[in-house]
Structure 1
Amino acid sequence: MDLIENRTIDEIILGDRAEIERVLTRSDVTLFATVSADVNPASLDAGDEDGPELQQGIVQGMWAGTLISAVLATRLPGPGTVHLSQTLKFHREVSVGDRISVRVEVTGIDKSSGRVNLECACVNADGEIVVSGSAEVQAPRKKIKRHMARMPITQLKAPGVRFGELVDRARLLDPLVTAIVHPCDDLSLGGALAARDEGMIVPVLVGPRAKIEAAAEAAGLDLHGLEIVDAPHSHAAAEMAVALVHEGRAGALMKGKLHTDELLTAVLNKATGLRTERRLSHVFALDVPGQNRTLFVTDAAINISPDLESLRDIVQNAIDLAIAIGVETPLVALLSAVETVTGKLPSTILAAAICKMHDRGQIVGGKVDGPLAFDNAISPAAAAAKGIVSDVAGYADILVTPNLESGNMIAKQLIHLAGASSAGIALGAQVPIMLTSRSDTVDARIVSAALAKVFYHWRRERPLGLG
């Protein structure tokens, strides 16, 4: 580990110099905007390689000024220095990718008070002065030599960035007429109207008219211009929403204030429902901080303990969704507790069978591997440590869990512990279904609508059956 050593007031002489060099990164910009609470969009949107130059306030003030402070604190005079004052003048703008040399030089010393004056400058790779100024410090009188502190690993990420890109893409498509089933509270009504305002859906409200209107009035929501299909109760609302799909009056369903079982009972009715040859399954889409891709977790909401045929459909549904939103070759990991096949863990046998079904063309699209433990599925380092040679291990896009309990726990841990933004839809029926939860935010409902919309338009050009 590097050592840093100060120069005491008795050691410093006129003309002493010190220098450090840094390259401005996009993370630097985001970090300083976060620390300074600078909410000006130009501070975050600018400065990228393809964007305009950064504002002086963010880069030349805070960033350059902090680098000068770093030289004073670690180089000259070094540890034990007290920063008294600093003046800066900004000459040129700084952009992401610029390499900046930060230099200080001693111009005045007062041995009795211990005060030292230094000229400061930040110079770019072309030799141009970006920032100039002066600083006054209290130099240490005691010699200090210590190891440099380990800097924390900082990961900066605006929540739901990839979901924002998905919503932008969905806006380019025609809004999806969606039956909102029993929207009798402010959350389901507000989420449906927000999705409408973002251009995702055209909501058709299905449920008791009086309750819907009362909920809207209590929440201050305007239902003007919206179609309301009156139904006496939640069971009837689910049946009537399914009927709207059969009549061609709706292309998707969104769950309102009713139990999931009520809605799915109508959807899965053998005579009047929306069954296909594919098993119905749910897919969580998660934008997880620190991950460079959207993660999909399935099935965490519908299938309790899927058998081989059900698991095949669960995998295919997830692959289809990933491809629909733009993942060219989804990487699918069949999860278990270990990465070897053993009769003691039935999930490993199912995983191996699914891989062979993919090899034989019974599942199409992407690449599939398993069994894989969770760490081996998402961490390249963990996969390498186990010696796993696989196109999927360490880089999985889709995490297929062996049962609902494990899937639900993984998804909710990523949401509530890792800070993941989440959305999700159910697939395998004739139309996509947004199974919103009471804990879902408005943003989650909008993104779920975007998933349904993009998938609906993608699937219109493709049959739902395998292949």
Structure 2
Amino acid sequence: MDTASASTAAPVTMIENVTFDEIRIGQSASLSRRLTMHDIQLFAMVSGDINPAHLDTEYASSSRFHKVIGHGMWSGSLISAVLGTLLPGPGTIYLGQDLRFKRPVGLGDIITATVTAKEKRDKNVVVFECVCVNQDGQPVVTGSAEVIAPTEKVNRPAHELPQVQMIHHDGHELMLKRCEELPPVPTAVVHPCDESSLKGAVEAAEAGLIDPVLIGPEAKIRALGMGFGLNLAGYRIIDVPHSNAAAETGVRLARSGEVEAVMKGSLHTDELMAEVVRKDTGLRTGRRLSHVFVMNVPTYPRTLLITDAAINIYPTLEDKVSIVQNAIDLAKVLGVDKPRVAILSAVETVNPKIASTLEAAALCKMADRGQIKGGVLDGPLAFDNAISEEAARTKGIVSDVAGRADILLVPDLEAGNMLAKQLSFLANADAAGIVLGARVPIILTSRADNIRTRLASCAVAVLMAAARRKAALAAAE
């Protein structure tokens, strides 16, 4: 019996068919492939089958239909691949099939699809016996397929398959998951007087992330809630006449310990931050305030923190010490034991004409001397060799940080803001924003933020507040 086989481990470079006249009864061909979650998601995307038994692991594990239907259909699709690429191969026209799904197929299973010619008919029709077996030799799909076999010989280079990238939002989902067992954080929502800011506060409250105190003109807030169908019952509202008073009140509540976070509403960032940084009545600490974008980029394997992109316009070397330390402390709260900090510049060598390279060198030495704690710093690094190990190797850079950065320290606000927005709008990155260095975390939201971004920003504040409470308890003991 003639056989042919192929495996996804070795890409096919040439493709050749078997014509009707060349096919012999009993001739067979096989193709093997391991089922991955990527396969399942692609199958769902193409077919439109979003059955949670295939895509939701928690549902699937509790369902008696786990792995049966869609994954069996995936196995059946391998039969089509064998017929179209191996036997008969290019030029084959599929007429029909009769398949039975015998066993579940699970993640990691290796499925081998085999077709065997069992009948040749008039008009170049061939009937194939079809079977798919798992790695244990157990049949998962059996049946038959009927095709019109090609009559002309084809031998040509195989087409390279297009690269398909699945965009996931796992990073933000994991942050939200970590907050499920934590209590809602009392949060001063300052002047939520437009749809985006009021909805954001209510959505975060409904998600169990915050316990909002809405501060602003009460009549306006209630009218907005009614107009947008938001239920404000149960939420405390502090009536103040305008945004300046709202900012002052929100900061006062945070200073007194009545709330553990402050959330920006529809007022301008500068208006809120002016109250935060007031010397006698604000929320300053010994640290410089700084903003961090918490970004989950589909093409990067870890959460990426970008700082500072919203507060410090042209930070000095002294400012950058606080900016780096704030980001390191946040990375640790997010679960990174030893955050890697890449100090960005246009080049990866120290150049006296480029101030950011000199500051990078100084920051690295300060970290060596213990003036910056808890992270591993390297710089100057250009963006490519900060996030790409291949780019770093090409440049001959030997570093614990290069290609694996957790934190990107940008030279100034302009560079950071452009970088973060490029990742969001061109690389489909998820972003969350937080201001650190104050007595409480400050949640900065934008009208352009989607619900996932707003909730993730609140989740960062929840995790920071929980870490502060834990540290305070430890200090008291």
Corresponding residue of 1:128:
138
2:9 aligns with none
| Structure 2 Cα separation of the partners of residues 129 and 154 of structure 1 | 30
1:142 maps to what in 2? 152
In the alignment, which of 359, 363, 377 is matched to residue 368 of structure 1?
377
Deviation at 1:37, TM superposition (A): 2.1
Residue 184, structure 1, aligned to residue 193, structure 2: yes
In 2, Cα distance between equivalents of 1:401 and 1:81: 56
Deviation per residue, 1:260-305 (Å, 9 max, x gap)? 0000011111121111110111000111112221111111111111
Indicate how the Cα distance of structure 1 residues 230 and 200 shifts in structure 2: closer, same or farther if over 3 A, else same. Answer: same
Report if aligned partners of 1:48, 1:96 keep a CA contact under 8 Å in 2: no
Q: Give the structure 2 partner of residue 7 of structure 1.
A: 18
Aligned to 1:223: 232
Contact residue 284 and residue 422 of structure 1 kept, 8 A: yes
Tell me, yes or no, if structure 1 residue 56 matches structure 2 residue 68: yes
Provide closer, same or farther for how the CA distance between residues 377 and 48 of structure 1 changes in structure 2, counting only shifts above 3 A: farther
Gaps of 5+ in 2: 1-11, 473-477
Query: Are residues 1:37 and 2:75 paired?
Result: no
Q: Does the aligned pair in 2 maintain the 1:376–1:382 contact within 8 Å?
A: yes
Q: Which residue of 2 aligns with 1:104?
A: 115
The alpha-carbon distance between structure 1 residues 317 and 50, as it changes in their structure 2 partners (threshold 3 A), is farther
Structure 1 residues 91-120: Cα deviation after superposition (integer angstroms, max 9, x where no partner)? 11111111111100111112x411111111
Q: Cα distance, 1:376 vs. partner?
A: 0.4
The residue that corresponds to 2:35 in the other structure is: 24
Correspondent of 2:170 among 161, 170, 175: 161
Cα distance in 2, alignment partners of residues 126 and 55 from structure 1: 17
Residue in structure 2 matched with residue 174 of structure 1 by the alignment: 183
Aligned to 1:77: 88
The 2-side partners of 1:170 and 1:41 are apart by 24
Kept after mapping to 2: 8 A contact 1:283/1:297: yes
Query: d(CA) in 2 for partners of 1:82 and 1:355?
Result: 65
Deviation per CA, 1:402-452, whole angstroms, max 9, x where unpaired?
011110111011111111111110001111000111111122111111100
CA distance in 2, matches of 1:374, 1:429: 29
Q: Distance in 2 between matches of 1:192 and 1:161?
A: 23
Per the alignment, in what secondary structure is the counterpart of residue 123 of structure 2? Answer: coil
2:103 matches 1:92 = yes
Name the amino acid aligned to 1:415.
S
Residue deviations 1:350-374 (CA, integer Å, cap 9, x gap)? 1111111111111111211111111
Equivalent residue letter for 1:144: V
Structure 1 residue 260 corresponds to structure 2 residue 269 = yes
Asked if the contact 1:295–1:397 (Cα under 8 Å) also holds between the matched residues in 2, the reply is yes
Residue 242 of structure 2 corresponds to residue 242 of structure 1? no
What letter corresponds to residue 18 of structure 1 in structure 2?
A
- Equivalent residue, structure 2, for 1:424: 433
Task: State the alpha-carbon separation in 2 of the partners of residues 135 and 9 from structure 1.
Answer: 15
Residues of 2 paired with 1:326 and 1:42: CA distance?
Answer: 30
1:48 offset after TM fit, Å? 12
CA distance in 2, matches of 1:49, 1:235: 52
Which string of whole-angstrom CA distances, capped at 9 and with x for unpartnered residues, describes residues 57-82 of structure 1? 21101x11210000001100011111
CA distance in 2, matches of 1:127, 1:238: 68
Q: Report the alpha carbon displacement of residue 153 of structure 1 after superposing the two structures with TM.
A: 2.6
Maintained 8 Å contact 2:60/2:66: no
Task: Quote the offset at 1:156 in angstroms.
Answer: 2.3
Q: What does residue range 274-293 of structure 1 map to in structure 2 within 5 Å?
A: 274-293=283-302
What is the SS of the residue equivalent to 2:179? helix
| SS of corresponding position for 1:326 | coil
Distance 1:408 1:78 in 2: 52
Distance 1:68 1:80 in 2: 16
Does the Cα contact within 8 Å between 2:32 and 2:113 map onto a contact in 1?
A: yes
Q: CA deviation at 1:50?
A: 8.3
SS in structure 2 opposite 1:375?
A: helix
Verify the 8 A CA contact 1:5 1:146 in the aligned structure 2.
yes
Is the Cα–Cα contact under 8 Å of residues 6 and 78 in structure 1 kept in the other structure?
yes
The CA deviation at 1:51 is 8.3
Query: Counterpart of 1:460 in 2: which secondary structure?
Result: helix
User: Partner of 1:107: helix, strand, or coil?
Assistant: strand
CA distance, structure 2, for counterparts of residue 333 and residue 164 of structure 1:
25
- Alignment match of 2:393 (pick from 377, 384, 406): 384
Cα deviation for residue 125 of structure 1 reads: 1.8
State how far apart, in whole Å, the 2-side matches of 1:48 and 1:73 are: 35
Partner residue, 2:206: 197
- Give the alignment's Cα RMSD to 1 decimal: 1.7
Contact kept? 1:103, 1:121, Cα under 8 Å: yes
- 1:99-151 CA-partner distances (Å, limit 9, x unpaired): 111100111112x4111111110011222111001111111111111112212
TM-superposed CA distance for 1:461, in Å, is 3.8
CA distance in 1, matches of 2:52, 2:24: 45
How far has the Cα of 1:154 moved from its partner?
2.7
TM-score (norm: length of structure 2): 0.93
CA contact (8 A) 1:29 1:44 kept: yes
Task: Give me the whole-angstrom Cα distance separating, in 1, the residues matched to 2:136 and 2:228.
Answer: 59
C-alpha deviation, 1:226, in angstroms: 1.1
Residue 327 (structure 1) aligned with residue 336 (structure 2): yes
* Separation (CA, whole Å) in 2 of partners of 1:127 and 1:252: 58
> Structure 1 residues 317 and 51, CA, compared in 2 at 3 Å: closer, same or farther?
farther
Conservation of the 8 A alpha-carbon contact between 2:296 and 2:303 = yes
SS at match of 2:44: helix
Say if 2:60 and 2:67, in contact at 8 Å, map to a contact too: no
- Paired with 2:398 and 2:179, the residues of 1 have a C-alpha distance of 37
Give percent identity, aligned residues only. Answer: 54
1:36 Cα deviation from its structure 2 partner: 2.1
Q: Report Cα offsets for 1:319-339 as digits up to 9, x if no partner.
A: 111101111111110011111
Distance change in 2, residues 1:388/1:284 (3 Å) = same
Distance of 2:381 and 2:88 partners within structure 1: 53
Instruction: Write the distance in 2 (CA, Å) between the matches of 1:16 and 1:64.
Output: 21
Partners of 1:68 and 1:114 lie apart in 2 by 19
Question: What letter matches 2:150 in structure 1?
Answer: P
Quick one: which amino acid aligns to residue 130 of structure 1? V
